[in-house]
Structure 1
């Protein structure tokens, strides 16, 4: 599983009636591939996975896999707070042809570190697919500690982690304690460059929906040794990253996509649309483009 530098945590396009809109999904996938995305994460948080039933998830996995046609990896979000259900979702994704799976730390039931090791180890034993772990304590209410990730990295098909703890110290510990083949990705767009500076691989991004090429330019500049250019691009993008997360994800990014001509519909309850001007995206976007 080579996720590349930028994996996009893809939104799920909806019709006006709230059903998945597959024509819009195809247009979105082609847009992302054309603008720097190296891999797609389907039915993750940004894809509103809590509001998708199993059949909808299977349909999204299958549809995106068919659209992509092996041009880039498709990673299926199959993690839940239910280990047995996560296994079922994972095995179905494997049968549908996914290139890998993403497993979030179990939310709501809040397992301890031993529980997390048991959960992820069990799922890993039930699939041949490579696994991207996903640590997001702000949503799951538990933090998968560096020592836990290091232990799980010893399992052959656990290959990477999306770290959204916001802690560069924790990310540093993971990088130091895992082998070169284990990859650490930022789960926060704004920490992409700082993570690269301590040895991280790249980002599982939301902002890449609209600035994928610019983010790729920043990453390439850093990796080629032009740290001044990379830092300049990081600072230029920073206010845009902040605007994209100024309301519950994926409300702002779906709005932002509509402003660049990529329609993905609204969001499902309990998320709600914001009124015009509720986020400063338009002003920040214009300032960014004119900088």
Structure 2
């Protein structure tokens, strides 16, 4: 049975001053994330700027990070073309990753039957554990609970990163799927409320900065100490919100650079945070005594 643990960080991809991938910084960051309690890492997800990475950069990242950390590496390989996603998945498997994160196809807006056929085809062609990724705010495509239920019956589809922000939909998914199918919150701000309806853990962005606190919040909730968990949630509420004031990963990269974890800028079509956004991020870090 696949178990990637409860706290997974969707890791940024560090760049140097010329916006080339900085592999040494990526290794260093991955090690730091392990030290603060991450149980797995997603590499080349949205936060890792997958759309602007070259195929060879992705493969080298998988290999370098896998060689240097002892927790599972989950590769973000999803595209809006089934054949291309299968190709990416096969290459990621050959590079040694432990699992795949596959987003619902974006832009072409498939129906629910199309979504089922897409993921079923990939699962049959690539023998690795798969985490589905539903993020309708980015894809203009919402995978409904009944579709997740059908897909959860396929052996190597083992988890879902659910970023709809819809607590009713999240609860319905948990209700419909087997206990060994893990539903993860894809929104940091929704983690604690989602755990109340059975979400297992989180695929997080904010954990780059407040991973220890998030881990404590998860553990307090599991232990039944809801008040302590709620106290941490409220403490982190502002940073959960403000690390998404512009498109991810612009704010989280800015925050990491501020605390001297050098990850560089972002590739076009994204641009670096502006003065006002930097002030908001800096204020949050100061409030939490991180800066």
Per the TM superposition, whether the score is higher than 0.5 is yes
Deviation beyond 6 Å, 4+ runs, structure 1 = none
Q: Is the 1:2–1:73 contact (alpha carbons within 8 Å) kept by the matching residues of 2?
A: no
Partner of 1:285: 285
Q: Deviations over 1:208-237 (max 9, x none)?
A: 001100000000011111100000000000
Measured after TM superposition, the shift of residue 191 of structure 1 is 0.6
Measured after TM superposition, the shift of residue 13 of structure 1 is 0.5
How well do the aligned residues superpose, as a CA RMSD in angstroms?
Answer: 1.0
Partner of 2:110: 111
Distance 2:283 2:55 in 1: 39
Q: Deviations over 1:217-270 (max 9, x none)?
A: 000011111100000000000101111001110010001111222110100000
Q: Please give the residue correspondences for 1:95-110 in structure 2 after superposition, counting only pairs within 5 Å.
A: 95-110=94-109
Partner of 1:133: 132
* Secondary structure, aligned partner of 1:273: coil
Distance 1:106 1:204 in 2: 19
Gaps of 5+ in 2: none
* Secondary structure, aligned partner of 1:203: strand
* Secondary structure, aligned partner of 2:277: coil
Partner of 1:173: 172
Larger mean CA deviation between 59-68 and 201-210 belongs to: 59-68
Measured after TM superposition, the shift of residue 57 of structure 1 is 1.3
Q: Please give the residue correspondences for 1:248-287 in structure 2 after superposition, counting only pairs within 5 Å.
A: 248-279=247-278, 280-287=280-287
Distance 1:248 1:175 in 2: 28
Measured after TM superposition, the shift of residue 3 of structure 1 is 1.6
Q: Is the 1:135–1:143 contact (alpha carbons within 8 Å) kept by the matching residues of 2?
A: yes
* Secondary structure, aligned partner of 2:42: strand
Partner of 1:38: 39
* Secondary structure, aligned partner of 1:56: helix
Partner of 1:65: 66
Measured after TM superposition, the shift of residue 59 of structure 1 is 1.4
Measured after TM superposition, the shift of residue 289 of structure 1 is 2.5
Q: Deviations over 1:149-170 (max 9, x none)?
A: 0110000000000000001111
Q: Is the 1:3–1:39 contact (alpha carbons within 8 Å) kept by the matching residues of 2?
A: yes
Q: Please give the residue correspondences for 1:66-105 in structure 2 after superposition, counting only pairs within 5 Å.
A: 66-68=67-69, 71-105=70-104
Distance 1:33 1:197 in 2: 26
Q: How many residues align?
A: 288
Distance 2:246 2:136 in 1: 18
Matched, 1:20 2:10: no
Q: Is the 1:6–1:39 contact (alpha carbons within 8 Å) kept by the matching residues of 2?
A: yes
Distance 2:66 2:141 in 1: 31
Measured after TM superposition, the shift of residue 95 of structure 1 is 1.3
Distance 1:52 1:24 in 2: 16
Q: Is the 1:14–1:20 contact (alpha carbons within 8 Å) kept by the matching residues of 2?
A: yes
Gaps of 5+ in 1: none
TM-score normalised by the chain length of structure 1: 0.97
Distance 2:231 2:107 in 1: 40
Measured after TM superposition, the shift of residue 288 of structure 1 is 2.3
* Secondary structure, aligned partner of 1:277: helix
